[in-house]
Amino acid sequence: MKITVGGESREVAEGITVADLISLEKIDNPEYVTVSVNEEFVDQGSFASHVLQEGDSVEFLYFMGGGAYGIHQ
Amino acid sequence: MRVTISRAYFAEMCAHARKNLPEESCGLVAGRDLPDGTREILRVYFLTNTDHSREHFSIDPREQLAAIRDMRSRGLIPLGNWHSHPESPSRPSEEDKRLANDSRATYLILSLEQADSPVLNAFHIETVDGIRTVRREELVFIEE
């Protein structure tokens, strides 16, 4: 079936989960990734059970954070 | 890697960061990667620092998603993020390095430590053999 990942079309197996897709896409540091499917965020605890459907649009968003904390230490 | 950004965007980032003092400011950058290896920043996004802190920032994932949608609609790709250091130099802190989890991203840090001479630098951060490594990129300011 066809889905969209990061704006690009992908052909994936039926029944693929978000967790499977993270592995397939070789996402670095997945513990810091937020996933949206059709603009709805998926809880990290549901990655293994959330089955993707034909036409789904998936985005992997890295947590973007940081700051000067501790820079003078 | 060579990274380019317009002086107009640099000025806009400085103005935005000054307006938000004493808190850190943050956002995303988008553009394109040229065949010669140059990374061209063509759009800067000014997003909310949900930490509202003078020494930490987090970008709201909903704003991040909206920005990425906007990039796509303009034919641009996400290139990385930027944030300000209101009172410290333009270099990654340990916290910046710890949370730099996307090895494809360019990380821009704007220092307002010297109020009249803001400094913007670009960095590549990745984990090599288990160690976070930082490389300062060549940042070129483009006149428009």
Give me the number of domains chain A comprises: 1
- Position B125 scores a pLDDT of 95
Residue A72 in any domain: the answer is no
Report, in this order, helix, strand and coil percent for chain A, each rounded to 5.
Answer: 20, 35, 45
**Which one of B76-80, B102-106, B129-133 scores highest in mean pLDDT?**
B76-80
Domains along the sequence of chain B with CATH:
2-142 (3.40.140.10)
Put simply, whether B12 touches A (Cβ < 8 Å) is no
- For B140, the token pair is 């070129």
Q: What pTM was estimated for this model as a whole?
A: 0.90
Q: Give residue A12's pLDDT band: very low, low, confident or very high (50, 70, 90).
A: very high
Put simply, whether B74 touches A (Cβ < 8 Å) is no
Q: Which range has the worst mean pLDDT, A58-62, B29-33, B120-124? A: A58-62
Residue A32 in any domain: the answer is yes
Residue A28 in any domain: the answer is yes
Per the rule left: phi > 0, alpha: psi between -120 and 50, beta: everything else, B14 is alpha
Q: Give residue B101's pLDDT band: very low, low, confident or very high (50, 70, 90).
A: confident
Residue A30 in any domain: the answer is yes
Residue A70 in any domain: the answer is no
Q: What is the residue-averaged pLDDT of chain B?
A: 95
- Position A73 scores a pLDDT of 57
CATH of the domain at A16: 3.10.20.30
Residue A27 in any domain: the answer is yes
Put simply, whether A66 touches B (Cβ < 8 Å) is yes
The interface predicted TM-score of the complex, written ipTM, equals 0.81
Cα(B144)–Cα(B134) distance, rounded to whole angstroms? 30
Residue A67 in any domain: the answer is no
Domain carrying residue A56: 2-62
